[in-house]
Protein backbone atom coordinates (compact mmCIF):
# COMPACT_ATOMS: atom_id res chain seq x y z
CA UNK A 1 0.00 0.00 0.00
CA UNK A 2 2.80 2.44 0.92
CA UNK A 3 4.67 1.66 -2.28
CA UNK A 4 1.52 2.21 -4.32
CA UNK A 5 0.91 5.53 -2.54
CA UNK A 6 4.49 6.64 -3.20
CA UNK A 7 4.24 5.78 -6.89
CA UNK A 8 0.93 7.59 -7.29
CA UNK A 9 2.43 10.74 -5.79
CA UNK A 10 5.53 10.28 -7.93
CA UNK A 11 3.37 10.22 -11.07
CA UNK A 12 1.85 13.59 -10.23
CA UNK A 13 5.00 15.40 -9.01
CA UNK A 14 6.31 16.47 -12.46
CA UNK A 15 2.91 18.06 -13.12
CA UNK A 16 2.76 20.07 -9.89
CA UNK A 17 3.19 23.87 -10.00
CA UNK A 18 6.81 25.02 -9.85
CA UNK A 19 6.24 27.01 -6.67
CA UNK A 20 4.96 23.88 -4.90
CA UNK A 21 7.96 21.76 -5.88
CA UNK A 22 10.22 24.66 -4.82
CA UNK A 23 8.50 24.63 -1.44
CA UNK A 24 9.21 20.91 -1.06
CA UNK A 25 12.81 21.23 -2.25
CA UNK A 26 13.49 24.34 -0.17
CA UNK A 27 14.07 22.29 2.92
CA UNK A 28 16.81 20.25 1.26
CA UNK A 29 18.42 22.69 -1.20
CA UNK A 30 20.33 25.82 -0.09
CA UNK A 31 19.02 28.10 -2.84
CA UNK A 32 20.16 28.75 -6.39
CA UNK A 33 23.21 31.01 -5.87
CA UNK A 34 26.57 30.47 -4.22
CA UNK A 35 25.82 33.40 -1.90
CA UNK A 36 22.74 31.60 -0.60
CA UNK A 37 24.77 28.45 -0.11
CA UNK A 38 27.55 30.33 1.71
CA UNK A 39 25.00 31.88 4.07
CA UNK A 40 23.73 28.39 4.93
CA UNK A 41 27.31 27.23 5.48
CA UNK A 42 28.09 30.25 7.66
CA UNK A 43 25.13 29.46 9.91
CA UNK A 44 26.11 25.80 10.09
CA UNK A 45 29.69 26.71 11.02
CA UNK A 46 28.38 29.01 13.76
CA UNK A 47 26.60 25.99 15.27
CA UNK A 48 29.74 23.87 15.19
CA UNK A 49 29.09 21.95 11.96
CA UNK A 50 31.45 21.54 9.03
CA UNK A 51 30.02 21.60 5.51
CA UNK A 52 30.41 20.31 1.98
CA UNK A 53 28.91 22.21 -0.94
CA UNK A 54 27.87 20.81 -4.28
CA UNK A 55 26.49 22.47 -7.41
CA UNK A 56 23.38 20.55 -8.40
CA UNK A 57 23.50 18.89 -11.78
CA UNK A 58 24.40 15.65 -13.53
CA UNK A 59 24.96 14.19 -16.99
CA UNK A 60 26.49 17.20 -18.71
CA UNK A 61 26.43 16.73 -22.48
CA UNK A 62 28.99 19.17 -23.92
CA UNK A 63 32.67 19.87 -23.30
CA UNK A 64 31.99 23.58 -22.98
CA UNK A 65 29.37 23.11 -20.27
CA UNK A 66 31.59 20.68 -18.38
CA UNK A 67 34.44 23.20 -18.56
CA UNK A 68 32.24 26.05 -17.30
CA UNK A 69 30.99 23.97 -14.37
CA UNK A 70 34.58 23.09 -13.49
CA UNK A 71 35.42 26.80 -13.54
CA UNK A 72 32.55 27.49 -11.16
CA UNK A 73 33.92 24.90 -8.76
CA UNK A 74 37.35 26.53 -8.96
CA UNK A 75 35.74 29.86 -8.07
CA UNK A 76 34.00 28.19 -5.12
CA UNK A 77 37.36 27.02 -3.75
CA UNK A 78 38.63 30.61 -3.91
CA UNK A 79 35.46 32.00 -2.32
CA UNK A 80 35.54 29.48 0.54
CA UNK A 81 39.11 30.50 1.29
CA UNK A 82 38.28 34.22 1.22
CA UNK A 83 35.35 33.75 3.55
CA UNK A 84 37.32 31.42 5.86
CA UNK A 85 34.51 28.89 5.92
CA UNK A 86 34.88 25.37 7.31
CA UNK A 87 33.72 23.85 4.08
CA UNK A 88 35.00 21.61 1.30
CA UNK A 89 33.65 20.61 -2.11
CA UNK A 90 31.97 17.54 -3.55
CA UNK A 91 31.62 17.01 -7.29
CA UNK A 92 29.74 14.43 -9.36
CA UNK A 93 31.83 12.98 -12.21
CA UNK A 94 28.92 13.10 -14.67
CA UNK A 95 28.53 16.83 -13.96
CA UNK A 96 32.02 17.63 -15.23
CA UNK A 97 32.34 15.34 -18.20
CA UNK A 98 32.01 11.62 -17.43
CA UNK A 99 29.25 11.10 -20.01
CA UNK A 100 31.37 12.87 -22.65
CA UNK A 101 34.54 10.88 -22.15
CA UNK A 102 37.17 9.75 -19.67
CA UNK A 103 39.79 12.22 -20.87
CA UNK A 104 37.48 15.23 -20.44
CA UNK A 105 36.61 14.10 -16.94
CA UNK A 106 40.28 13.54 -16.11
CA UNK A 107 41.28 17.02 -17.31
CA UNK A 108 38.53 18.68 -15.30
CA UNK A 109 39.24 16.66 -12.18
CA UNK A 110 42.93 17.49 -12.34
CA UNK A 111 42.07 21.17 -12.68
CA UNK A 112 39.95 20.90 -9.52
CA UNK A 113 42.69 19.01 -7.71
CA UNK A 114 45.14 21.78 -8.58
CA UNK A 115 42.74 24.43 -7.26
CA UNK A 116 42.07 22.40 -4.10
CA UNK A 117 45.82 22.23 -3.47
CA UNK A 118 46.24 25.94 -4.19
CA UNK A 119 43.50 26.86 -1.73
CA UNK A 120 44.48 24.25 0.87
CA UNK A 121 41.11 22.56 0.71
CA UNK A 122 39.65 19.07 0.15
CA UNK A 123 37.91 17.62 -2.91
CA UNK A 124 35.36 14.80 -2.64
CA UNK A 125 34.75 12.90 -5.88
CA UNK A 126 31.22 11.64 -5.51
CA UNK A 127 29.99 8.21 -6.54
CA UNK A 128 27.04 7.69 -8.87
CA UNK A 129 25.51 4.42 -10.04
CA UNK A 130 27.41 1.15 -10.38
CA UNK A 131 28.21 1.72 -14.06
CA UNK A 132 30.54 4.53 -12.99
CA UNK A 133 32.24 2.83 -10.04
CA UNK A 134 35.35 1.61 -11.85
CA UNK A 135 36.16 4.86 -13.64
CA UNK A 136 35.40 6.95 -10.56
CA UNK A 137 37.73 4.90 -8.36
CA UNK A 138 40.41 4.86 -11.04
CA UNK A 139 40.44 8.64 -11.44
CA UNK A 140 40.11 9.24 -7.70
CA UNK A 141 43.26 7.14 -7.22
CA UNK A 142 45.05 9.20 -9.89
CA UNK A 143 44.03 12.45 -8.21
CA UNK A 144 45.07 11.20 -4.77
CA UNK A 145 48.52 10.41 -6.16
CA UNK A 146 48.87 14.12 -7.01
CA UNK A 147 47.31 15.65 -3.89
CA UNK A 148 46.63 14.08 -0.49
CA UNK A 149 43.36 15.88 0.25
CA UNK A 150 41.20 14.00 -2.21
CA UNK A 151 38.60 11.39 -1.37
CA UNK A 152 35.75 9.48 -2.92
CA UNK A 153 32.69 7.49 -1.85
CA UNK A 154 31.98 3.80 -1.23
CA UNK A 155 28.47 2.37 -1.15
CA UNK A 156 27.81 -0.34 1.43
CA UNK A 157 25.08 -2.09 -0.54
CA UNK A 158 27.45 -3.11 -3.34
CA UNK A 159 28.99 -6.56 -2.91
CA UNK A 160 32.30 -5.24 -4.26
CA UNK A 161 32.75 -2.49 -1.67
CA UNK A 162 34.80 -4.41 0.87
CA UNK A 163 37.28 -5.44 -1.83
CA UNK A 164 37.45 -1.86 -3.14
CA UNK A 165 38.26 -0.69 0.38
CA UNK A 166 40.91 -3.36 0.93
CA UNK A 167 42.74 -2.16 -2.19
CA UNK A 168 42.89 1.39 -0.82
CA UNK A 169 43.35 1.35 2.95
CA UNK A 170 46.27 3.44 4.08
CA UNK A 171 47.12 6.76 5.70
CA UNK A 172 46.00 8.77 2.62
CA UNK A 173 42.57 7.16 2.37
CA UNK A 174 39.61 9.48 2.94
CA UNK A 175 36.33 7.85 2.04
CA UNK A 176 32.70 8.72 2.53
CA UNK A 177 30.81 5.54 3.41
CA UNK A 178 27.10 5.56 2.59
CA UNK A 179 24.48 2.87 2.06
CA UNK A 180 23.80 3.73 -1.59
CA UNK A 181 20.67 5.29 -3.08
CA UNK A 182 20.63 4.12 -6.71
CA UNK A 183 18.48 1.14 -7.57
CA UNK A 184 20.84 -1.69 -8.48
CA UNK A 185 20.44 -5.31 -9.54
CA UNK A 186 20.38 -8.03 -6.84
CA UNK A 187 23.30 -9.54 -8.76
CA UNK A 188 25.60 -6.74 -7.59
CA UNK A 189 23.89 -5.12 -4.62
CA UNK A 190 22.32 -6.15 -1.31
CA UNK A 191 18.59 -5.41 -1.31
CA UNK A 192 17.56 -5.98 2.30
CA UNK A 193 17.94 -2.94 4.58
CA UNK A 194 19.15 -4.94 7.57
CA UNK A 195 21.72 -6.79 5.48
CA UNK A 196 22.94 -3.47 4.06
CA UNK A 197 23.40 -2.18 7.60
CA UNK A 198 25.35 -5.30 8.55
CA UNK A 199 27.66 -4.85 5.59
CA UNK A 200 28.04 -1.15 6.37
CA UNK A 201 29.26 -2.00 9.87
CA UNK A 202 31.52 -4.76 8.52
CA UNK A 203 33.17 -2.36 6.06
CA UNK A 204 33.43 0.35 8.71
CA UNK A 205 35.08 -2.02 11.18
CA UNK A 206 37.59 -3.11 8.54
CA UNK A 207 38.54 0.50 7.96
CA UNK A 208 38.84 1.20 11.68
CA UNK A 209 41.03 -1.89 12.08
CA UNK A 210 43.39 -0.56 9.42
CA UNK A 211 44.34 2.95 8.23
CA UNK A 212 42.31 5.75 6.75
CA UNK A 213 39.70 8.39 7.50
CA UNK A 214 35.97 7.87 7.02
CA UNK A 215 32.90 10.05 6.68
CA UNK A 216 30.13 8.02 8.31
CA UNK A 217 27.22 9.09 6.12
CA UNK A 218 23.79 7.92 7.22
CA UNK A 219 20.37 9.20 8.30
CA UNK A 220 19.39 5.79 9.67
CA UNK A 221 19.31 6.32 13.44
CA UNK A 222 19.56 2.61 14.16
CA UNK A 223 22.71 2.38 12.05
CA UNK A 224 24.04 5.61 13.55
CA UNK A 225 23.74 4.19 17.06
CA UNK A 226 25.42 0.95 15.96
CA UNK A 227 28.29 3.00 14.52
CA UNK A 228 28.67 4.81 17.84
CA UNK A 229 28.80 1.48 19.68
CA UNK A 230 31.48 0.26 17.27
CA UNK A 231 33.52 3.44 17.79
CA UNK A 232 33.35 3.05 21.55
CA UNK A 233 34.06 -0.70 21.54
CA UNK A 234 37.12 -0.24 19.34
CA UNK A 235 38.15 2.99 21.11
CA UNK A 236 38.52 4.73 17.74
CA UNK A 237 40.16 8.18 18.03
CA UNK A 238 37.90 11.03 16.93
CA UNK A 239 40.44 12.16 14.34
CA UNK A 240 39.75 8.99 12.32
CA UNK A 241 36.20 9.84 11.33
CA UNK A 242 33.37 12.34 11.02
CA UNK A 243 29.61 12.00 10.69
CA UNK A 244 27.94 13.27 7.51
CA UNK A 245 24.33 14.13 6.70
CA UNK A 246 22.33 15.86 4.00
CA UNK A 247 21.13 19.40 4.61
CA UNK A 248 17.56 19.55 5.88
CA UNK A 249 17.04 15.87 6.72
CA UNK A 250 15.52 15.55 10.23
CA UNK A 251 17.77 13.66 12.65
CA UNK A 252 15.74 13.84 15.88
CA UNK A 253 18.32 15.99 17.63
CA UNK A 254 21.18 13.56 17.01
CA UNK A 255 23.37 16.07 15.17
CA UNK A 256 23.45 18.31 18.23
CA UNK A 257 24.11 15.26 20.42
CA UNK A 258 27.10 14.30 18.29
CA UNK A 259 28.51 17.82 18.57
CA UNK A 260 28.12 17.68 22.35
CA UNK A 261 29.99 14.35 22.30
CA UNK A 262 32.88 16.26 20.66
CA UNK A 263 32.48 14.42 17.38
CA UNK A 264 32.82 16.13 14.01
CA UNK A 265 29.68 16.50 11.92
CA UNK A 266 29.62 17.62 8.28
CA UNK A 267 26.48 18.74 6.46
CA UNK A 268 26.20 18.26 2.69
CA UNK A 269 24.76 21.47 1.21
CA UNK A 270 23.54 21.25 -2.41
CA UNK A 271 22.60 24.39 -4.35
CA UNK A 272 22.15 25.68 -7.87
CA UNK A 273 19.64 26.47 -10.59
CA UNK A 274 19.14 22.79 -11.42
CA UNK A 275 17.37 22.12 -8.13
CA UNK A 276 14.13 21.15 -9.87
CA UNK A 277 15.62 18.59 -12.23
CA UNK A 278 17.73 17.22 -9.38
CA UNK A 279 14.68 16.78 -7.15
CA UNK A 280 12.63 15.04 -9.84
CA UNK A 281 15.49 12.68 -10.79
CA UNK A 282 16.09 11.70 -7.19
CA UNK A 283 12.42 10.89 -6.75
CA UNK A 284 12.29 8.91 -9.98
CA UNK A 285 15.36 6.89 -9.02
CA UNK A 286 13.99 6.08 -5.58
CA UNK A 287 10.18 6.36 -5.25
CA UNK A 288 10.40 5.40 -1.56
CA UNK A 289 11.69 8.90 -0.86
CA UNK A 290 8.36 10.38 -1.91
CA UNK A 291 6.43 9.37 1.17
CA UNK A 292 9.27 10.54 3.36
CA UNK A 293 9.31 13.99 1.77
CA UNK A 294 5.56 14.44 1.93
CA UNK A 295 5.49 13.26 5.53
CA UNK A 296 8.03 15.94 6.45
CA UNK A 297 6.29 18.51 4.27
CA UNK A 298 3.07 18.17 6.25
CA UNK A 299 4.99 18.23 9.53
CA UNK A 300 6.63 21.45 8.38
CA UNK A 301 3.29 22.97 7.43
User: Quick one: pLDDT at residue 27?
Assistant: 73
Known catalytic residue: 176?
yes
Using the predicted structure, report yes or no on whether residue 102 has a pLDDT greater than 60.
Answer: yes
What pLDDT, on a 0 to 100 scale, did the predictor assign at position 248?
85
Residue of 126, 187, 220, 281 with catalytic role = 126
Residue 237 phi, psi (nearest 5):
-60, 145
d(CA 200, CA 203): 5
pLDDT in tens, 210-225: 999 999 999 999 999 9
d(CA 75, CA 86): 16
Q: What is the CATH number of domain 31-271?
A: 3.20.20.220
Out of 124, 168, 176, 266, pick the active-site residue: 176
pLDDT tens, position by position, 137-170: 999 999 999 999 999 999 999 999 999 999 999 9
Longest dimension (CA), the chain: 53
Average confidence (pLDDT) over 95-107: 97
Domain ranges of the chain: 1-29+288-301, 31-271
pLDDT band at 3 (very low <50, low <70, confident <90, very high): low
Which element (helix H / strand E) includes 274? Answer: none
Residue 85 contacts by C-beta under 8 Å, 6 or more apart in sequence? Answer: 38, 41, 42, 45, 51
pTM flag (> 0.85): yes
Q: Is 233 a catalytic residue?
A: no
CA 43 to CA 127: how far, in whole Å? Answer: 27
Question: Cβ–Cβ contacts within 10 Å for residue 183, how many?
Answer: 13
Amino acid sequence: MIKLFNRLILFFIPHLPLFFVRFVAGRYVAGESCEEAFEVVRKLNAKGFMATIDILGEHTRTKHTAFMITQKYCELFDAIKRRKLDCNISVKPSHIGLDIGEQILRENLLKLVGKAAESGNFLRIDMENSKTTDITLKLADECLAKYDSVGTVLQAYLFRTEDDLKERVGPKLNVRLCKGIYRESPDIAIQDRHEINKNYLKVLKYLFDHEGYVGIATHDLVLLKDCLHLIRDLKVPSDRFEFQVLYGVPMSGWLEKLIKMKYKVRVYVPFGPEWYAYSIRRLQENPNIVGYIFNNLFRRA
